Structure 1
């Protein structure tokens, strides 16, 4: 990437997570960086912690090309070396020649320089440098450059993962996940895979009126067998463009998994469909934490009660730490207006979370109950129902076709003081 043309265009930003949305996961490579300034070292260190770098290993050293030359006289070179240099163009070319003498021929090199010079850029490319980037650099610059080198332009696109999780059991997260998945497949005529990750108590098979002989359990317990062909055998067709990876919903065994238990399944699903809905149960374990950390989009469903608010607040704060470079989770406030139940108003609920709700779903026991008992989606029951229109709006937002409409926020109402959340 030649950033000479846009260095002063105002496109650079450290605070815009949407700039990272289209970046692919970096493959399993080793990267070492040698920096002369903290301004360059800092975004590199942030990049090392980004979820898109989960497979790669990035080590940042202070010191420029001279330090790199000394280092590799006794160490093997990695897949990628990133060096920062404040040297003038001709001196920089000479220093890189010395670095080349101690590097393997297969090692890629990115140079971060301080001279916006077209001649220098052309000489570096002719010299064999993979990319030249002019400082200052941002996390977006770093990930984009690395991705551009190691993810081929002809690589197949990866499907977008949308993880639904409830702030509390019974909040209706699974119902929202299944109906939004169905809405996406119907509205956009795009292939959608709904994966029910609650192997013990999952309800997707009931909600979609399916009883497949195989499902996600076979994939979890035999990850070495998973590929696109095997996954296709496990999927149950629920609609023209929607497939289900069903849970067994049985207690004949326990489901204690390692943190990466679902990684292979999700990666294969991403190569098989453009949209993957992950129905994550309301638990906190190594694997559920991993799934939420690496999802492209997260939707929290909560009911307007104090325990839901506390749990939602904990989720939002934790995910912000786990995903510092991503957009915050989306919020659905569900089951609003249950008769005689004291409730927190949507404005008071959303204020402590710092989120604007995607949708505020009213309580409608008859409509939701009829849908569940008949094994049909809400849109199949009544396409013109107001709740169905809300679900359709959610489908537009989570796929990036629309944005959450902001409203005037209400005050705290004394609620946050009652949570007593530990900082």
Structure 2
């Protein structure tokens, strides 16, 4: 740890606080202090004007109220937290549920506590390492197939490029990407956003549904009505930083709307894929969306790609017509194979598994190569078996 990290040790047992403070005193990169809670509040950060970088919270017999107080803090008032308490599975599980990074029982082992704090320090200090790519996929017109493109792209990046990939379904009300992989929606997206301040890569992965290919999916499958105004934009930005730090590529399927939430993701994306189909009405809507992206949101044109889904060379509207109308070059055309794509979606089997030689599958793998800058990994029969076992 190069920069000094402030650590507040709080609780109601003065002996425990003193013991922990002695462990952390004179440790490089740590500035510990302690706070004996005597004001009747369970919240260890009640009336703390300057939040510490990390909190070590010593629970007591009133652990349910104490941990609940952590869970009830607003997102901007949370800090990475380590919890100590009696050797009790219920306490440990509750601590993890409310966002604790680690749980230790007394007597706390000094090396384990220091290692936990070092992990927190690495997360909150700026990193010089390159973060993973962020690809945003959005429909120019409703029903153009952006969700199918996002799912197929993410799966191709995992299955053929063999990169570590997260797929995020940002449709808060009608998201359905989990069904494309025959996965159960966990409703964890909103929870992950709320807990972004207190999560590390391991905790984030616990919120995600896992496909056997190795793809990780984060979506909102709850019946609870959520609108974009319910999402804390600062927390969403932190979640995206966590995703980019933990994955080679993050593919985000966006709803067809421009608001604060989609704006954050579109502006931060390394590549925005605008999905349309081969009709005049799609061209008109795509032109309007491109105008919004470049004029009002400041997305550079070179970061925007136009994808024509269900392309049919027999139709009168040509690629040259679309490029001229939109003022773009190098369209990406995904050929029409509606029957196979629909069957794949109904079965919950990715098209690359159901029909690996189809024209759509080949086009999506080519897109994955282009966006990742990598070539398809040639797999032997043994490696395919190993990957299947590892993903199970």
The TM-score by the shorter chain falls in which range? Answer: 0.5 to 0.7
* Aligned 1:57-206 pairs, distance under 5 A: 155-206=128-179
Is 1:272 matched with 2:231?
Answer: no
1:291 aligns with 2:265: yes
Asked whether the equivalents of residues 261 and 287 of structure 1 are also in contact (C-alpha less than 8 Å), the reply is: no
By how many angstroms is 1:259 displaced?
A: 4.4
Change (3 A) 1:232 1:369: same
Kindly report which structure 2 residues correspond to 1:375-390, keeping only aligned pairs within 5 A, or say none: 375-390=348-363
Q: Is contact 2:336–2:360 with CA below 8 Å preserved after alignment? A: no
Cα distance change, pair 326–347 in 1 and its aligned pair in 2 (3 A): closer
Q: Distance in 1 between matches of 2:216 and 2:198?
A: 20
Asked if 1:330 corresponds to 2:305, the answer is yes
In structure 1, what is the equivalent of residue 278 of structure 2?
304
Partners of 2:165 and 2:216 within 8 A in 1: yes
Secondary structure of 1:189's counterpart equals: coil
Contact 2:135 2:252 in 1 (8 A): yes
| Cα distance change on mapping 1:358 and 1:344 into 2, 3 Å | closer
**Partners of 1:368 and 1:343 in 2: CA distance:** 24
What whole-Å deviation, never above 9, does each CA across 1:316-357 have from its counterpart, x for those lacking one? 233224346562411110123499xx8633321122222234
Q: Secondary structure at the match of 1:327?
A: helix
SS of 2:267 mapped into structure 1:
helix
Contact 2:161–2:368 (CA under 8 A) maintained in structure 1: no
Cα distance in 1 for residues equivalent to 2:195 and 2:371: 31
Rounded to whole Å, the distance in 1 between the matches of 2:293 and 2:141 is 16
2-structure distance, mates of 1:214, 1:324? 30
* Structure 1: gaps (5+ residues): 1-150, 403-423
Instruction: State the alpha-carbon separation in 2 of the partners of residues 258 and 347 from structure 1.
Output: 42
What corresponds to 2:368 in structure 1? Answer: 395
Mapped to 2, the partners of 1:216 and 1:186 lie a distance apart of 24
CA distance change for structure 1 residues 349 and 325 in 2, over 3 Å: closer, same or farther? closer
The aligned residue for residue 56 of structure 1 is none
State the match for 1:315 in structure 2: 289
Counting matched residue pairs gives 249
- CA drift at 1:279: 0.8
Query: Root-mean-square deviation (CA), in Å?
Result: 2.5
Task: Quote the Cα distance in structure 2 between the aligned partners of 1:155 and 1:303.
Answer: 40
Q: Which runs of 5+ in 2 are unaligned?
A: 1-124, 376-392
Distance across 2 between alignment mates of 1:228 and 1:308: 39
Cα distance between partner residues in 2 of 1:260 and 1:312: 29
Maintained 8 Å contact 1:260/1:290:
no
| Aligned equivalent of 1:229, options 188, 202, 219 | 202
TM-score (normalised: structure 2): 0.58
